[in-house]
Structure 1
Amino acid sequence: MAHRPLISTVSQNYKMLKVLGQGCYGQVIKCLKRDTEETVAVKVLKQRHSQFKKIREIVILEKLRCLDPDKSNIVRCHEWFHRIDQTFLVFEFLDMSLFDYMCQRKWAPLPLNGMRTIVKDVATALSALNSVGLIHADLKLDNIMLVDHQRQPYRVRLIDFGLTLHTFEARPGLSVQPLWQRSPEILFGLQFTEAIDIWSFGTMMAEMLVGFPLFPGGHEYDVLRFIIDILGEPPKRLLNNGIKTQKFYRRSLKYRLFNHWKFKMPVDFFTETGIKPVETRRHRLSSLDDLKTMSLHQENSTEAAGRSASVELLKEMLQMDPRKRITPSKVLAHPFITGSHLSPSNSSHFQAEQKKKTNSLKSKDKDLKLESITDRIKTKPAVDCDIVSTPVVHPNSSLNQAASSRHSFHTPDISEPKKKKKKKIKGLFSTLKRKFSSSYVSEGNDKQSMS
């Protein structure tokens, strides 16, 4: 949809080409910077924005100047200026947003290699924001831009810091984040940290993985209902401390020592608020593990292992408890990003396959041994089982001669060796007894002869 420019001109140094997008903040216009002949994106803030909000975004951009845009994957801001009660922010020109790209693909899931590049770049950007004490607080597909998809496939940069907060500005009950990307701590009105960005990032990753949003609610109640259906009940710590918990939960009075929370049924929520819960999900999942077998591009072990690793990362990003949620630096070290899930030593799938192969080889080996033993029994004279465990001895020894005289013995049963060992032990005791008695008798005869 084409938009009309909010202004007739930016300045003499900028030639307006076309409107790229428009929102509640203002408008983004593609311009040609005449002095450098460079194509740039100029953000024009609406006049209704308070002077404080305009100055605030400039302060955030000034703080981001200490970061290298190429290393941090954060959009490069060239300059800003004021003219006739208008504020202009000039940024580098990028390709398109991930939202527009997914629309072009008709919301077909992204290939795993492409998604891996995007996740790595966004995690790097969030890590850079954390290093300077900032929370983006407005992460969505519209605010992730492809740099140049033809020359640098799936390389992205983080944009739009109009709602970005300093970490010391976070306070309970503050309404931030897009609705579908809203984290549990924001829904319950809890104190929050930069972990809310990881939650939003996780919802975006799921959308790129399967091609549809996980929590597409029209109201906070629906979003929370969809979250609980997939991830289960929130930790009691979140419910007990949330200033908005009773908006979604009913507390039981029969427990006086401990709070017992029960999620309100859609009918009860509608009766209390007049807001009708609506089912807007394309697929109803029982858990995030359902995503491991959904929309596989290729039915092979490598694709399945990569898919499984991506879902394991997603599970760590969508932890209800923000204290257990993965950090951007740990995202960069995750097997899905490093590729260690494809390594023979680290891939559980590979280990399982190897174990199956080893077991099959062992069974084949046993069958071959059994066949060879059976063949020997059929083709050669039967030999007593005790001979198998007989140690190797010199050819001239009496044991070897005794063994060679047993060719006429019948083939023994499997249970036979234990009985024969018992006979051998009895025979040994009887031999010792005879020797002892004979020596005793001979000693007695000697004594008589001496007397």
Structure 2
Amino acid sequence: MEMDYVTEFPHTHMDFRPRKRPRLAWEPTQALAKAQSGIYRGQDVGSVTSYGPSRVPSDHACVFVKGLVQNGSPRRRNVGKDGHYTFVLGENLSSRYKILRKLGEGTFGQVLNCLDRETGEMVAIKVVRSIKKYRDAAMTEIDVLQLLKKNDKSGRRCVQIRSWFDYCNHICIVFEMLGPSLYDFLLKNNYRSFPVDLVREIGRQLLECVAFMHELRLIHTDLKPENILFISPEYIKIPDYKVMPQSTNEGTFYKRLPKSSAIKVIDFGSTAFEHQDHNYIVSTRHYRAPEVILGSLISGLGWSYPCDIWSVGCILVELCSGETLFQTHENLEHLAMMERVLGPLPQHMLKRDGKHAEKYVKRGRLDWPEGATSRESIKAVLKLPHLQYGLQNIAVTGLQAEERFAF
């Protein structure tokens, strides 16, 4: 039986340009494309400034940036499943940027590592899904990024926006290229802890960034290890005191540490302004403050700046221990874990009226363990140590490590 074998080659000599085909309904006429090819609805790409009443270009053409319609990648709709942008490595994202690799993906879209042909610089481009709510969120993020850039002249605290544009109905935000995240380092080290001195330095920078944002009346609302990046990708290997020296597995005997402790905060897509309503759910579960959980249930109790500080505390404990502080996915269990680690919740959070408050609060106290869904849930809460004792154990382990390797 005859079989077909397909082998991929770098056919550099072949012409991959699209062949002539009928014009689709969403494409502009030739006259319209020529008329609009030199404008971007008032957006001067590269200067990050907006002049027109609407900063979101019409999706009649792939991109309205001077020179890009004529010189960019083939005009087509690169829309995949659920509005994600589909691409091939090596192709163009507009005429200016060449796609090199994918850095990550989330509910918002994808982050691509690209080469800026004009400057020769490596950049990270956030390509947002072509769905209205994500496009709207991206425009809000651009507002926040411009405000941060305007007030942070040194660019030391938060990731810096380079420019933004609309390409094939995808909002594309161009950022400076940074290194791996705190989570990446934890993952590469099999979730083994950071040295306390490094955690202290990371904490200082993180609190400075949060204070800077709060002075601008901004609340990040989604601080977590994935959203804190080292500036440099370089690292070193050091002996890991948690593994016995007799270990034959060299990969577990050493762990990675960044050469530089300098960090920057990223992902401002969920950033809230002080004047907005603060009763909806924010933050990733494990870094969510108690007032965020209870705020949607108890009238008059909303979240504000302290929810960022709570997230910072959860992050620092995780870096010191290598484990997520609150490993749960259920609200009542989460609140019970908070009381187990930190003591009773403040009364002002519990003594309020709300038609759904009785689900977690009864007679002015947390409905625990009576309201637990299972015995396993109760056991998960009881095994947690009080924060004071947990940090003492971390400190003792660190001293033992110093003595072990003091030779």
TM-score, with normalisation over the residues of structure 2? 0.65
The whole-number CA distance in structure 2 between the counterparts of 1:117 and 1:55 is: 33
Deviation per CA, 1:132-178, whole angstroms, max 9, x where unpaired?
1100000110000011153851211000000000011142x310011
> What is the deviation of 1:291?
1.6
Counterparts in 2 of 1:20 and 1:197: CA distance versus 1, 3 Å: same
1:81 paired with 2:193, answer no
Corresponding residue number in structure 1 for 2:108? 25
**Does the aligned pair in 2 maintain the 1:139–1:181 contact within 8 Å?**
yes
**Does the aligned pair in 2 maintain the 1:221–1:277 contact within 8 Å?**
no
Corresponding residue number in structure 1 for 2:358? 246
The whole-number CA distance in structure 1 between the counterparts of 2:402 and 2:108 is: 46
Within 5 Å, which residues of 2 pair with 1:104-253? 104-150=188-234, 153-171=260-278, 173-189=279-295, 190-241=301-352, 243=354, 245-251=357-363
Bigger helix fraction: 1
The whole-number CA distance in structure 2 between the counterparts of 1:30 and 1:130 is: 30
Within 5 Å, which residues of 2 pair with 1:272-291? 277=377, 284-291=384-391
Counterparts in 2 of 1:30 and 1:300: CA distance versus 1, 3 Å: closer
The whole-number CA distance in structure 2 between the counterparts of 1:99 and 1:85 is: 31
Counterparts in 2 of 1:242 and 1:16: CA distance versus 1, 3 Å: farther
Within 5 Å, which residues of 2 pair with 1:279-318? 284-294=384-394, 296-299=397-400
**Does the aligned pair in 2 maintain the 1:138–1:163 contact within 8 Å?**
yes
Amino acid corresponding to residue 198 of structure 1 in structure 2: I
Other structure's SS at 1:91 match = strand
The whole-number CA distance in structure 2 between the counterparts of 1:59 and 1:166 is: 11
1:90 paired with 2:191, answer no
Within 5 Å, which residues of 2 pair with 1:346-365? none
Amino acid corresponding to residue 214 of structure 1 in structure 2: L
The whole-number CA distance in structure 1 between the counterparts of 2:288 and 2:200 is: 23
> What is the deviation of 1:290?
2.9
> What is the deviation of 1:55?
2.0
Aligned residues: 288
Corresponding residue number in structure 1 for 2:24? none
Other structure's SS at 2:122 match = strand
The whole-number CA distance in structure 2 between the counterparts of 1:7 and 1:75 is: 25
Corresponding residue number in structure 2 for 1:13? 96
1:36 paired with 2:115, answer no
Cα-Cα RMSD:
2.8
Corresponding residue number in structure 2 for 1:264? 368
**Does the aligned pair in 2 maintain the 1:184–1:224 contact within 8 Å?**
yes
Other structure's SS at 1:74 match = coil
**Does the aligned pair in 2 maintain the 1:72–1:124 contact within 8 Å?**
no
Amino acid corresponding to residue 171 of structure 2 in structure 1: T
**Does the aligned pair in 2 maintain the 1:19–1:30 contact within 8 Å?**
yes
> What is the deviation of 1:47?
1.1
The whole-number CA distance in structure 2 between the counterparts of 1:208 and 1:16 is: 33
Other structure's SS at 1:222 match = helix
Say which structure, 1 or 2, has more relative contact order (CA 8 Å, 6+ apart). Answer: 2
> What is the deviation of 1:53?
2.1
> What is the deviation of 1:301?
10
Counterparts in 2 of 1:49 and 1:122: CA distance versus 1, 3 Å: farther
Corresponding residue number in structure 2 for 1:430? none
Other structure's SS at 1:124 match = helix
Corresponding residue number in structure 2 for 1:57? 141
Counterparts in 2 of 1:70 and 1:113: CA distance versus 1, 3 Å: farther
Other structure's SS at 2:209 match = helix
**Does the aligned pair in 2 maintain the 1:107–1:212 contact within 8 Å?**
yes
The whole-number CA distance in structure 2 between the counterparts of 1:24 and 1:141 is: 17
**Does the aligned pair in 1 maintain the 2:149–2:155 contact within 8 Å?**
no
The whole-number CA distance in structure 2 between the counterparts of 1:197 and 1:10 is: 35
TM-score, with normalisation over the residues of structure 1? 0.59
> What is the deviation of 1:282?
11
Other structure's SS at 1:115 match = helix
**Does the aligned pair in 1 maintain the 2:231–2:263 contact within 8 Å?**
yes
**Does the aligned pair in 2 maintain the 1:114–1:153 contact within 8 Å?**
no
The whole-number CA distance in structure 1 between the counterparts of 2:171 and 2:220 is: 21
**Does the aligned pair in 1 maintain the 2:229–2:265 contact within 8 Å?**
yes
Other structure's SS at 1:185 match = helix
Bigger Rg, structure 1 or 2? 1
Q: Percent of pairs identical after alignment?
A: 25
Amino acid corresponding to residue 281 of structure 2 in structure 1: S
> What is the deviation of 1:188?
1.2
